[in-house]
Amino acid sequence: MWEQIRSNRVRSIVLVAGMCVLLLALGYVIGLFFLDNPFIGLIIAGSVWALLALVSFFQGDNILLSVSKARKIGREDDPQLYNVVEEMTIASGLEKIPDIYVINDNALNAFATGRSPKKAAVTITSGLRSTLNRNELQGVIAHEIGHIKNRDVLLMCITSVMLGAIVIISWYTTRVLFWGGAGRKSNSSRGEGSGAFILLIIGLLLMVLAPIFAQLINYAVSRKREYLADASAALYTRYPEGLASALEKIGSSTTAVKSANKATAPMFIVNPFAKRKAFNEWMSTHPPIADRVRVLRSMNGYSISDYEESFTETHKGKHIFNNPMASDKM
């Protein structure tokens, strides 16, 4: 299993590096056309990201829980839920039981947060808690603990912050440009001729397309992590049907999570927005629910290689992990 986690981590690092290149390219263009110095633009872009990253790393989990209006509970508040979290913590090998939070919301969803396995939390909506039986609840909690174990929560936090930095910089720059900000740049520094005009067009296209490309990269990172968390849940519970049944119930709901937004959407077990039409599924941070259920129900066992085999059969030869024959028994 650890080989699979390392393999996906390498892929994710490559994708995050792509987002970093987009961010720096955006800063370079802004410095070139607005500040007469591309390196100042690089410094501004890097500083915005660094500030957001620091806030996210040290307070991101508290901010997310606060925005979600999540309430921390203990064993006495919900003995069964606490017991399930405890069981899955032991099965996964985590050193510490994650804190448990409940959101008073009729929507069916859950998420995990925290910068490390030692400082993590699992959160479930009251609607999902009241809908699932014990096996299904175990599958959902195992999925979220899989995210914690695989360090997905920190990775998704980093990509979300980088995406946010790109969106913020692009948004303000295009507004400044629209209101005549480009006119502040001296004619001499602009240069003359078709070369300067082409560079300006390229810069404008980058400002418009950078957030879109960054979002697509964010989708790619998030989807890979969801598949691995599903596989981890099957391994921890030894019962893939539990998560499959839970996902079916979640997929049948059309109630959106009230506190969710585009920045927090990748953290949830499924897309937290209500409508899930074909186009929305394709543009979603998560794989289609029906696809995830089909893979789980096609498994002949509960190991990572069993999940890989099921995924390959379901997707006509396509692989989700780099090394399907890796040892995955715990």
Instruction: List beta partners, residue 122.
Output: 100, 112
Q: For residue 137, is pLDDT > 50?
A: yes
Q: How many CA atoms lie within 13 A of 304 on its CB side?
A: 23
Helix, strand, coil tally for the chain in percent (to 5)? 65, 5, 25
328 close to 232: Cβ distance less than 8 angstroms: no
310 close to 295: Cβ distance less than 8 angstroms: yes
Given this model, what pLDDT does residue 8 score? Answer: 55
Out of 7-21, 233-247, 289-303, the most confident range is: 233-247
Q: What is the rounded distance in angstroms from the CA atom of residue 322 to the CA atom of residue 7?
A: 6
Residues 6+ apart with CB under 8 A from 284: 219, 271, 276
Task: Calculate the alpha carbon distances from 241 to 31, 273, 329 in Å.
Answer: 54, 24, 19
Q: For residue 280, is pLDDT > 60?
A: no
137 DSSP assignment: H
Q: What angle do CA 58, 63, 65 make, to 5 degrees?
A: 120
pLDDT digits (tens, 9 = 90+) for 140-159: 999 999 999 988 877 777 77
The catalytic residue among 86, 95, 144, 241 is 144
Q: For residue 274, is pLDDT > 70?
A: no
Token representation of residue 147:
């995210």
203 DSSP assignment: H
* 86 counts as catalytic: no
pLDDT digits (tens, 9 = 90+) for 177-197: 666 555 444 444 444 555 555
Residue for token pair 């995990």: 112
Q: At residue 268, what are phi and psi to the nearest 5 degrees?
A: -80, 160
Sign of CA dihedral 188, 193, 199, 205: positive
pLDDT digits (tens, 9 = 90+) for 22-71: 788 888 887 877 777 888 888 888 887 788 777 777 777 787 888 888 99
Q: What is the pTM of this model?
A: 0.78
Q: For residue 298, is pLDDT > 50?
A: yes
